[in-house]
Amino acid sequence: MTILVKSVREKRLIDEIFQLAKENKPCYYLMKDISKFVEDKYGLDTIITHIYRKLSEQHKFYGKDTTRVSPHQLFHSFDIRSRIFNNDEIKEIVDYVNTKYNATNYYKTTCMAHEVIKDGKSFGMHFHCQYLTKD
Ligand SMILES: [Zn+2]
């Protein structure tokens, strides 16, 4: 099982993985579970692209007046690169995670594959995973 970070923000992401393990252990275990599933099933590494979002980054994305709070600001979520998977594999991963975790999750959906587009610019297809245990 290998969790990789491939980004100009590599150092920051590594620090954030350790911080995620401290702040929200179930979410960290979810990350490990997905990476084991992906390795066992497809022989692929899991590439983490985003974990923590600062308030200034949320403002940059949604505007300074936004009251919207992202689960990324709370260590409730992380993103995984999805473009290395085909559509069937993406569906299998999403189904695996949601079947296993939705019932115990404060959030309705644990994993979704989506593309974020802002001002015509794509921020890439990815899995957005969010997990906060109900109790
Ligand atoms: Zn996300």
Handedness of CA 47, 55, 68, 106 (dihedral sign): positive
The angle subtended at Cα 85 by Cα 82 and Cα 91, nearest 5°, is 85
Question: At a CB cut-off of 8 Å and minimum separation 6, what does 17 contact?
Answer: 3, 5, 28, 31, 48, 51
Q: CA quadruple 115, 111, 40, 26: dihedral positive or negative?
A: positive
Distance of CA 80 from the midpoint of ligand 1 (Å): 8
Residue with tokens 């590439």: 47
Rounded Cα distance between 108 and 65, Å, is 26
Distance between Cα 42 and ligand 1 center (Å): 23
Q: What is the reported pLDDT for 6?
A: 67
pLDDT (0 to 100) of residue 1: 58
At residue 55, the pLDDT reads 94
Domain ranges of the chain: 3-130
pTM: 0.91
Give 53 Cα–ligand 1 centroid separation in angstroms. 9
Residue 49 CA to ligand 1 center (angstroms) comes to 9
Distance 72 CA to ligand 1 centre (A): 7
Mind listing the pLDDT tens digit of every residue in the chain (135 residues)?
577 766 667 889 999 999 999 999 999 999 999 999 999 999 999 999 999 999 999 999 889 999 999 999 999 999 999 999 999 999 999 999 999 999 999 999 999 999 888 788 887 889 999 999 997
Ligand 1: distance of its center to the CA of 112 in Å? 9
